[in-house]
Amino acid sequence: MSDLPEPRIAVLVPCYNEGVSIGAVVRDFRAALPQARIFIYDNNSTDDTVAVARAAGAIVRREPLQGKGNVVRRMFGDIEADIYVLVDGDDTYDAASAPRLVAELLDDRLDMVVGARVAEAKAAYRPGHRLGNVVLTRLVGLIFGNRFRDMLSGYRVFSRRFVKSFPALSHGFEIETELNVHALELRMNIREVDTPYRERPEGSFSKLSTFRDGWRILRMIVNLMKEERPREFFGLGFLLLFLTSLGFGVPVIAEFMETGLVRRFPTALLATGLMLLAFLSLTSGMILDTVTTARREVKRLAYLSQIAPGRPDEG
Protein backbone atom coordinates (compact mmCIF):
# COMPACT_ATOMS: atom_id res chain seq x y z
CA MET A 1 0.00 0.00 0.00
CA SER A 2 1.12 3.53 -0.76
CA ASP A 3 1.67 6.12 1.99
CA LEU A 4 0.24 8.84 -0.24
CA PRO A 5 -2.63 10.81 1.34
CA GLU A 6 -6.17 10.72 0.05
CA PRO A 7 -6.74 13.20 -2.80
CA ARG A 8 -7.81 16.69 -1.80
CA ILE A 9 -11.27 17.50 -3.16
CA ALA A 10 -12.63 21.00 -3.71
CA VAL A 11 -16.25 21.73 -4.63
CA LEU A 12 -16.44 24.97 -6.62
CA VAL A 13 -19.76 26.82 -6.83
CA PRO A 14 -19.99 30.07 -8.82
CA CYS A 15 -22.98 32.08 -7.56
CA TYR A 16 -25.01 35.09 -8.55
CA ASN A 17 -28.23 35.74 -6.61
CA GLU A 18 -28.75 32.14 -5.50
CA GLY A 19 -29.85 32.87 -1.93
CA VAL A 20 -32.91 30.63 -2.32
CA SER A 21 -30.94 27.56 -3.33
CA ILE A 22 -27.33 27.88 -2.18
CA GLY A 23 -27.93 26.63 1.37
CA ALA A 24 -29.29 23.32 0.08
CA VAL A 25 -26.40 23.00 -2.39
CA VAL A 26 -23.79 23.42 0.35
CA ARG A 27 -25.55 21.03 2.75
CA ASP A 28 -26.05 18.37 0.08
CA PHE A 29 -22.44 18.43 -1.08
CA ARG A 30 -21.15 18.39 2.50
CA ALA A 31 -23.18 15.23 3.03
CA ALA A 32 -22.12 13.65 -0.29
CA LEU A 33 -18.41 14.57 -0.03
CA PRO A 34 -17.67 15.10 3.68
CA GLN A 35 -13.91 15.20 3.02
CA ALA A 36 -14.22 18.07 0.51
CA ARG A 37 -13.84 21.81 1.02
CA ILE A 38 -16.76 23.75 -0.46
CA PHE A 39 -15.97 27.13 -2.03
CA ILE A 40 -18.68 29.63 -2.93
CA TYR A 41 -17.50 32.44 -5.19
CA ASP A 42 -20.05 35.23 -5.14
CA ASN A 43 -20.35 37.27 -8.33
CA ASN A 44 -21.86 40.57 -7.08
CA SER A 45 -25.08 39.10 -5.67
CA THR A 46 -27.66 41.57 -4.40
CA ASP A 47 -29.54 39.02 -2.25
CA ASP A 48 -28.45 37.02 0.80
CA THR A 49 -26.35 34.45 -1.10
CA VAL A 50 -23.20 35.20 0.91
CA ALA A 51 -24.87 35.04 4.33
CA VAL A 52 -26.74 31.81 3.54
CA ALA A 53 -23.60 30.13 2.13
CA ARG A 54 -21.54 31.05 5.20
CA ALA A 55 -24.26 29.85 7.55
CA ALA A 56 -24.31 26.50 5.70
CA GLY A 57 -20.56 26.08 6.28
CA ALA A 58 -19.03 27.05 2.93
CA ILE A 59 -15.83 29.02 2.36
CA VAL A 60 -17.07 32.22 0.71
CA ARG A 61 -15.00 34.44 -1.59
CA ARG A 62 -15.90 37.16 -4.08
CA GLU A 63 -15.18 37.82 -7.76
CA PRO A 64 -16.12 41.35 -8.87
CA LEU A 65 -15.78 40.76 -12.63
CA GLN A 66 -19.26 39.77 -13.77
CA GLY A 67 -19.76 36.49 -15.63
CA LYS A 68 -19.43 32.78 -14.93
CA GLY A 69 -16.26 32.49 -17.03
CA ASN A 70 -14.56 35.16 -14.91
CA VAL A 71 -15.55 33.32 -11.73
CA VAL A 72 -14.29 29.94 -12.99
CA ARG A 73 -10.97 31.47 -14.05
CA ARG A 74 -10.54 32.95 -10.56
CA MET A 75 -11.46 29.68 -8.82
CA PHE A 76 -9.11 27.60 -10.97
CA GLY A 77 -6.28 30.02 -10.25
CA ASP A 78 -6.89 30.43 -6.51
CA ILE A 79 -7.75 26.97 -5.25
CA GLU A 80 -5.25 24.15 -4.76
CA ALA A 81 -6.66 20.62 -4.85
CA ASP A 82 -6.25 17.26 -6.57
CA ILE A 83 -9.89 16.85 -7.63
CA TYR A 84 -12.20 19.74 -8.54
CA VAL A 85 -15.99 19.43 -8.59
CA LEU A 86 -17.62 22.32 -10.46
CA VAL A 87 -21.37 22.76 -10.02
CA ASP A 88 -23.91 25.56 -10.39
CA GLY A 89 -25.50 27.04 -7.28
CA ASP A 90 -29.11 26.65 -8.44
CA ASP A 91 -29.75 23.25 -6.77
CA THR A 92 -30.70 21.55 -10.05
CA TYR A 93 -27.81 19.05 -10.05
CA ASP A 94 -27.69 15.90 -7.94
CA ALA A 95 -25.10 16.13 -5.16
CA ALA A 96 -25.55 12.44 -4.36
CA SER A 97 -23.96 11.64 -7.76
CA ALA A 98 -20.72 13.42 -6.84
CA PRO A 99 -18.97 10.40 -5.19
CA ARG A 100 -19.71 8.33 -8.30
CA LEU A 101 -18.30 11.02 -10.62
CA VAL A 102 -15.17 11.37 -8.47
CA ALA A 103 -14.75 7.59 -8.35
CA GLU A 104 -14.99 7.37 -12.16
CA LEU A 105 -12.26 9.99 -12.50
CA LEU A 106 -9.94 8.32 -9.97
CA ASP A 107 -10.51 4.70 -10.95
CA ASP A 108 -9.92 5.26 -14.67
CA ARG A 109 -7.45 8.17 -14.37
CA LEU A 110 -9.69 10.55 -16.29
CA ASP A 111 -9.22 14.29 -16.64
CA MET A 112 -12.86 15.35 -16.87
CA VAL A 113 -16.15 13.66 -16.02
CA VAL A 114 -19.27 15.48 -17.20
CA GLY A 115 -22.59 14.97 -15.46
CA ALA A 116 -24.89 14.58 -18.47
CA ARG A 117 -28.33 15.83 -17.48
CA VAL A 118 -31.29 13.46 -17.31
CA ALA A 119 -34.30 15.65 -16.51
CA GLU A 120 -36.64 14.36 -13.81
CA ALA A 121 -39.43 16.66 -15.07
CA LYS A 122 -40.06 18.39 -18.40
CA ALA A 123 -40.08 21.79 -16.72
CA ALA A 124 -36.53 21.23 -15.45
CA TYR A 125 -35.05 21.58 -18.92
CA ARG A 126 -36.72 24.26 -21.02
CA PRO A 127 -37.32 23.30 -24.70
CA GLY A 128 -35.33 26.29 -25.97
CA HIS A 129 -32.34 25.38 -23.83
CA ARG A 130 -32.61 21.72 -24.82
CA LEU A 131 -32.71 22.55 -28.55
CA GLY A 132 -29.84 25.02 -28.25
CA ASN A 133 -27.76 22.45 -26.39
CA VAL A 134 -28.36 19.82 -29.09
CA VAL A 135 -27.49 22.22 -31.94
CA LEU A 136 -24.37 23.61 -30.28
CA THR A 137 -23.19 20.16 -29.16
CA ARG A 138 -23.45 18.85 -32.70
CA LEU A 139 -21.67 21.90 -34.08
CA VAL A 140 -18.76 21.43 -31.68
CA GLY A 141 -18.74 17.72 -32.52
CA LEU A 142 -18.53 18.51 -36.21
CA ILE A 143 -15.59 20.88 -35.76
CA PHE A 144 -13.60 19.44 -32.85
CA GLY A 145 -14.75 15.85 -32.39
CA ASN A 146 -17.96 14.15 -31.34
CA ARG A 147 -17.36 13.04 -27.73
CA PHE A 148 -20.15 14.84 -25.85
CA ARG A 149 -23.93 14.51 -25.61
CA ASP A 150 -24.47 17.36 -23.12
CA MET A 151 -21.91 20.01 -23.91
CA LEU A 152 -23.44 22.71 -21.71
CA SER A 153 -23.76 20.76 -18.47
CA GLY A 154 -22.64 22.79 -15.45
CA TYR A 155 -21.77 19.69 -13.40
CA ARG A 156 -18.20 18.49 -13.92
CA VAL A 157 -15.32 16.83 -12.10
CA PHE A 158 -11.74 17.68 -13.13
CA SER A 159 -8.25 16.44 -12.45
CA ARG A 160 -5.66 18.91 -11.25
CA ARG A 161 -3.78 18.66 -14.52
CA PHE A 162 -6.89 19.70 -16.45
CA VAL A 163 -7.48 22.74 -14.23
CA LYS A 164 -3.89 23.96 -14.17
CA SER A 165 -3.48 23.71 -17.95
CA PHE A 166 -6.78 25.46 -18.75
CA PRO A 167 -6.36 29.10 -19.91
CA ALA A 168 -10.01 30.14 -19.20
CA LEU A 169 -10.45 33.01 -21.65
CA SER A 170 -14.27 33.25 -21.70
CA HIS A 171 -16.32 35.68 -19.63
CA GLY A 172 -19.79 34.19 -19.27
CA PHE A 173 -21.82 31.02 -19.84
CA GLU A 174 -19.68 30.10 -22.83
CA ILE A 175 -17.14 28.72 -20.34
CA GLU A 176 -18.55 25.17 -20.76
CA THR A 177 -17.78 25.30 -24.48
CA GLU A 178 -14.21 26.34 -23.77
CA LEU A 179 -13.80 23.54 -21.22
CA ASN A 180 -14.93 20.95 -23.76
CA VAL A 181 -12.72 22.24 -26.57
CA HIS A 182 -9.70 22.32 -24.23
CA ALA A 183 -10.25 18.63 -23.45
CA LEU A 184 -10.78 17.74 -27.10
CA GLU A 185 -7.75 19.63 -28.37
CA LEU A 186 -5.39 18.00 -25.87
CA ARG A 187 -7.09 14.62 -26.44
CA MET A 188 -7.66 14.16 -22.73
CA ASN A 189 -9.30 11.18 -21.10
CA ILE A 190 -12.91 12.26 -20.59
CA ARG A 191 -16.31 10.66 -19.94
CA GLU A 192 -19.97 11.56 -19.61
CA VAL A 193 -22.05 10.01 -16.83
CA ASP A 194 -25.83 10.37 -16.67
CA THR A 195 -26.98 12.30 -13.59
CA PRO A 196 -30.44 13.44 -12.46
CA TYR A 197 -31.42 17.02 -13.25
CA ARG A 198 -34.33 18.70 -11.50
CA GLU A 199 -36.27 21.96 -11.49
CA ARG A 200 -35.01 25.02 -9.68
CA PRO A 201 -36.56 25.52 -6.25
CA GLU A 202 -39.53 27.86 -6.07
CA GLY A 203 -38.43 31.49 -6.00
CA SER A 204 -35.19 30.81 -7.87
CA PHE A 205 -34.71 32.14 -11.41
CA SER A 206 -32.36 31.20 -14.23
CA LYS A 207 -29.79 33.77 -15.33
CA LEU A 208 -29.33 32.05 -18.70
CA SER A 209 -30.92 33.81 -21.69
CA THR A 210 -31.69 31.36 -24.51
CA PHE A 211 -30.95 33.76 -27.37
CA ARG A 212 -28.38 36.14 -25.86
CA ASP A 213 -26.22 33.44 -24.29
CA GLY A 214 -26.83 31.09 -27.23
CA TRP A 215 -25.38 33.77 -29.51
CA ARG A 216 -22.40 34.26 -27.19
CA ILE A 217 -21.74 30.50 -27.16
CA LEU A 218 -21.98 30.36 -30.96
CA ARG A 219 -19.55 33.27 -31.20
CA MET A 220 -17.20 31.43 -28.84
CA ILE A 221 -17.34 28.31 -31.04
CA VAL A 222 -16.40 30.39 -34.10
CA ASN A 223 -13.59 32.09 -32.20
CA LEU A 224 -12.28 28.76 -30.91
CA MET A 225 -12.36 27.38 -34.44
CA LYS A 226 -10.26 30.34 -35.56
CA GLU A 227 -7.83 29.85 -32.67
CA GLU A 228 -7.63 26.05 -32.61
CA ARG A 229 -8.41 25.15 -36.24
CA PRO A 230 -6.98 28.07 -38.26
CA ARG A 231 -6.19 25.92 -41.30
CA GLU A 232 -9.84 24.85 -41.60
CA PHE A 233 -11.21 28.28 -40.63
CA PHE A 234 -9.15 30.25 -43.14
CA GLY A 235 -9.41 27.39 -45.64
CA LEU A 236 -13.16 27.90 -45.61
CA GLY A 237 -12.57 31.61 -46.24
CA PHE A 238 -10.27 30.68 -49.12
CA LEU A 239 -12.93 28.45 -50.65
CA LEU A 240 -15.67 31.08 -50.44
CA LEU A 241 -13.45 33.82 -51.88
CA PHE A 242 -12.08 31.51 -54.57
CA LEU A 243 -15.54 30.46 -55.77
CA THR A 244 -16.84 34.05 -55.67
CA SER A 245 -13.84 35.20 -57.69
CA LEU A 246 -14.51 32.50 -60.27
CA GLY A 247 -18.16 33.54 -60.43
CA PHE A 248 -17.18 37.08 -61.35
CA GLY A 249 -14.08 36.24 -63.38
CA VAL A 250 -15.15 33.35 -65.65
CA PRO A 251 -17.59 35.45 -67.75
CA VAL A 252 -14.91 38.14 -68.17
CA ILE A 253 -12.34 35.55 -69.28
CA ALA A 254 -14.84 33.89 -71.63
CA GLU A 255 -15.65 37.26 -73.23
CA PHE A 256 -11.94 38.02 -73.63
CA MET A 257 -11.35 34.64 -75.30
CA GLU A 258 -14.12 35.39 -77.83
CA THR A 259 -13.54 39.08 -78.55
CA GLY A 260 -10.07 39.89 -77.24
CA LEU A 261 -11.64 42.71 -75.20
CA VAL A 262 -12.27 43.30 -71.50
CA ARG A 263 -15.44 45.40 -71.48
CA ARG A 264 -16.26 44.82 -67.77
CA PHE A 265 -13.02 46.15 -66.36
CA PRO A 266 -14.35 46.82 -62.80
CA THR A 267 -15.63 43.22 -62.62
CA ALA A 268 -12.22 41.97 -63.72
CA LEU A 269 -10.54 44.02 -60.97
CA LEU A 270 -13.02 42.69 -58.40
CA ALA A 271 -12.40 39.09 -59.45
CA THR A 272 -8.64 39.63 -59.29
CA GLY A 273 -8.85 41.23 -55.84
CA LEU A 274 -11.02 38.41 -54.50
CA MET A 275 -8.59 35.81 -55.82
CA LEU A 276 -5.68 37.57 -54.13
CA LEU A 277 -7.65 37.67 -50.87
CA ALA A 278 -8.44 33.98 -51.26
CA PHE A 279 -4.78 33.01 -51.41
CA LEU A 280 -3.95 35.46 -48.62
CA SER A 281 -6.52 33.65 -46.46
CA LEU A 282 -5.03 30.27 -47.38
CA THR A 283 -1.51 31.45 -46.51
CA SER A 284 -2.69 32.94 -43.20
CA GLY A 285 -4.30 29.64 -42.25
CA MET A 286 -1.12 27.71 -42.97
CA ILE A 287 1.04 30.09 -40.92
CA LEU A 288 -1.39 30.28 -37.99
CA ASP A 289 -1.70 26.49 -37.95
CA THR A 290 2.00 26.33 -37.08
CA VAL A 291 1.48 28.89 -34.29
CA THR A 292 -1.50 26.90 -32.95
CA THR A 293 0.55 23.72 -32.89
CA ALA A 294 3.20 25.48 -30.80
CA ARG A 295 0.54 26.82 -28.39
CA ARG A 296 -0.98 23.37 -28.06
CA GLU A 297 2.44 21.94 -27.20
CA VAL A 298 2.83 24.54 -24.42
CA LYS A 299 -0.58 23.62 -22.98
CA ARG A 300 0.32 19.94 -23.23
CA LEU A 301 3.53 20.52 -21.29
CA ALA A 302 1.57 22.40 -18.59
CA TYR A 303 -0.82 19.45 -18.48
CA LEU A 304 1.99 16.90 -18.17
CA SER A 305 3.69 18.90 -15.41
CA GLN A 306 0.90 17.86 -13.00
CA ILE A 307 0.50 14.41 -11.43
CA ALA A 308 -2.07 12.16 -13.05
CA PRO A 309 -5.22 11.43 -11.02
CA GLY A 310 -5.54 8.05 -9.34
CA ARG A 311 -6.09 6.18 -6.12
CA PRO A 312 -3.33 6.54 -3.49
CA ASP A 313 -2.61 2.79 -3.58
CA GLU A 314 -1.98 2.78 -7.32
CA GLY A 315 1.36 3.05 -9.02
Q: 178-215, pLDDT tens digit by residue?
A: 999 999 999 999 999 999 999 888 776 766 766 787 88
3-state secondary structure of 118: strand
* Number of domains the chain is built from: 2
Q: What is the mean pLDDT of residues 273-294?
A: 95
Within a domain: 159 = yes
- pLDDT of residue 123 exceeding 60, the answer is no
Within a domain: 311 = no
* 221 lies in the same domain as 242: no
**Which CATH number covers residue 73?**
3.90.550.10
Within a domain: 312 = no
* 75 lies in the same domain as 221: yes
Query: Could you tell me the pLDDT band of residue 312, with boundaries at 50, 70 and 90?
Result: low
- pLDDT of residue 313 exceeding 70, the answer is no
Per-residue pLDDT of 165-180, as tens digits, reads 998 888 888 899 999 9
Does residue 101 contact residue 195 with C-beta atoms inside 8 Å? yes
The whole-number pLDDT of residue 133 equals: 82
Within a domain: 289 = yes
* 250 lies in the same domain as 295: yes
The whole-number pLDDT of residue 1 equals: 41
State the average pLDDT for the chain. Answer: 90
Q: How far apart are CA 74 and CA 68, in angstroms?
A: 10
3-state secondary structure of 198: coil
The whole-number pLDDT of residue 258 equals: 87
- pLDDT of residue 244 exceeding 70, the answer is yes
Within a domain: 137 = yes
Q: How far apart are CA 28 and CA 8, in angstroms?
A: 18
3-state secondary structure of 217: helix
Beta carbons within 8 Å of 152's beta carbon, 6+ residues apart: 129, 132, 133, 136, 137, 173, 176, 177, 217
From 50, 214, 208, 245, select the one nearest 125 (Cα to Cα).
208
Q: Which domain holds residue 165?
A: 9-228
Of the residues 170, 195, 228, the one at which a domain ends = 228
* 246 lies in the same domain as 180: no
* 22 lies in the same domain as 167: yes
* 110 lies in the same domain as 96: yes
Of the two residues 86 and 258, the one the predictor is more confident about is 86
Q: How far apart are CA 63 and CA 71, in angstroms?
A: 6
